[in-house]
Amino acid sequence: MNRLNGKTAVITGGATGIGLAAATRFIEEGAFVFIFGRRQEALDAAITALGPNARAVSGSVSELADLDRLYAAVKAERGTLDIVLANAGAGSPLPLGQITAEHIDDTFDTNVKGTIFTVQKALPLMGPGGSIILTGSSAGTTGAPGFTAYSASKAAVRNLARTWAEDLKGTGIRVNVLSPGATATELAKQALGEEGQKAYGAMTPLQRMADPAEIGAAAAFLASSDSSFMTASEVAVDGGLAQL
């Protein structure tokens, strides 16, 4: 399948987990991918795995100068941009009663501010047929005990797509949200252990966590013309967790 043949994509948080799975799938379907992340070692390993149709730029989505460097690299090598997967995210548990201003700032700087500027700074390179994909979460719909800031930030991401679909009227650029549930990334496996993975999987009707490749496949659908009449939509890839 070559649904993304000749397309240029940017994936933030693209060195590991869902981002890397999406980058792998995009390249398999013909795209040239720029991955963006903070850890150079992870970026280097990802580029080795992804091959010649990938480039890496290091930086943080909450630092505007870093995003400027990213898009300057895209413009210099590719000229234009077709797909943005705003996937960089942060979240850690802190129960009500212990929440700090710093905790809120750290979460919202990445998940909301970072998403806004990842997209805003991409727009000058994009045109008709462009696809913007925001990574949401089932927690943005259901909430998650102990994850006040994270859940609220992902609910905000969902609303960004609704707002931007209106803002982008007439441009031919679509914007949608991809909302995973619990996903068996390497980080999640290490954090949860075998019993934790079973517990999270048991919360879904499918009785398991997602494989990152399953989220990557959904991202490729939203990036391609197969979803050409979709904008402002949310695609839940959560095993039914937030749907019942």
- pLDDT reported for residue 191: 81
Burial class (CB in 10 A: 0-12, 13-18, 19+), 166: exposed
- pLDDT reported for residue 134: 98
- pLDDT reported for residue 186: 86
**DSSP code of 124?**
G
Of 172, 225, 210, nearest to 18 by C-alpha is: 210
**Domain assignment present for 3:** no
CB contact at 8 A, 34 and 13? no
Helix (H) and strand (E) counts for the chain?
9, 7
**Domain assignment present for 158:** yes
Of 147, 166, 157, nearest to 91 by C-alpha is: 147
- The CA–CA distances, whole Å, from 122 to 23, 64, 84, 116 equal 18, 12, 8, 10
**Domain assignment present for 53:** yes
DSSP letter string over 161-172? HHHHHHHTTTTT
In this structure, which amino acid lies at residue 105? Answer: D
**Domain assignment present for 164:** yes
**Domain assignment present for 125:** yes
**Domain assignment present for 244:** no
**Average pLDDT score, the chain:** 96
pLDDT digits 0-9 by tens, 16-33 = 999 999 999 999 999 999
pLDDT digits 0-9 by tens, 66-104 = 999 999 999 999 999 999 999 999 999 999 999 999 999
**Domain assignment present for 181:** yes
- pLDDT reported for residue 241: 94
How confident is residue 11, by pLDDT bands cut at 50, 70 and 90? Answer: very high
- pLDDT reported for residue 85: 98
**Domain assignment present for 243:** no
Q: Is residue 187 pLDDT above 90, yes or no?
A: no
Distance of alpha carbon 162 from alpha carbon 156, whole angstroms: 10
DSSP letter string over 131-194? EEEEE--THHHH--TTBHHHHHHHHHHHHHHHHHHHHTTTTT-EEEEEEE-SB--HHHHHHHHH
Which are the catalytic amino acids?
150, 154
User: What range does the domain containing 216 cover?
Assistant: 8-237
How confident is residue 143, by pLDDT bands cut at 50, 70 and 90? Answer: confident
What total number of domains does the chain contain?
Answer: 1
Domain of 231, CATH number, reads 3.40.50.720
- pLDDT reported for residue 1: 75
